[in-house]
Amino acid sequence: MNPAPARRRAELPAGGLSRQIVLSMTMVAFWLTVLVISTSFAFYYVLSRVQPEIMETDSMALTPPEIVWMVLTTIAAMAGAAWVASRLARRILVPLNSVADCIQQVAAGDLSARAVGGDLSLGEASRLVEDFNSMADQLERVTQEKAQWNAAIAHELRTPL
């Protein structure tokens, strides 16, 4: 297996989970913005009924600056959520992709393959990388010991006392 594509895949978030995290966070931001705006209208409606003297105008119609403010707030919230979600996805997927690539390398016979967790990996992902690397170390050591043991047995069978 060519190590360059494996390294590149480990550095970039996978499309499926990464995209799902980004879309989920963006939708959360969108619906939270809708909730805030709608509750603001409800608040001012109740306020206009309870204390009408506070409200200067009779119209509850939106003005153009208010519409622009709501649109910009929604866009900013969605962009912020997408940015945070993509960073979170990277922290989750870099170590997982690295472990997946190394599993394929070990299955192909390369027992020296080790996963890289990254500096900002989450605790569980870092622990997975450490456990995989520990298992790969043990597997490599046992395989080397087995080869040495087989060589020693073969030598003894060829050259008896």
pLDDT per residue, tens digit, the chain (161 aa), is 444 444 444 444 445 777 778 888 888 888 888 888 888 888 878 877 887 776 666 566 777 877 888 888 888 888 888 888 888 888 888 888 999 999 999 999 999 999 988 777 777 888 889 999 999 999 999 999 999 999 988 888 888 66
Of 17, 8, 14, 24, residue with least CA distance to 84: 24
Tokens 């298992």 found at: 135
2: nearest Cα among 108, 92, 136: 108
Widest Cα–Cα separation across the chain: 111
Q: What is the pTM of this model?
A: 0.59
Q: What is the pLDDT of residue 44?
A: 78
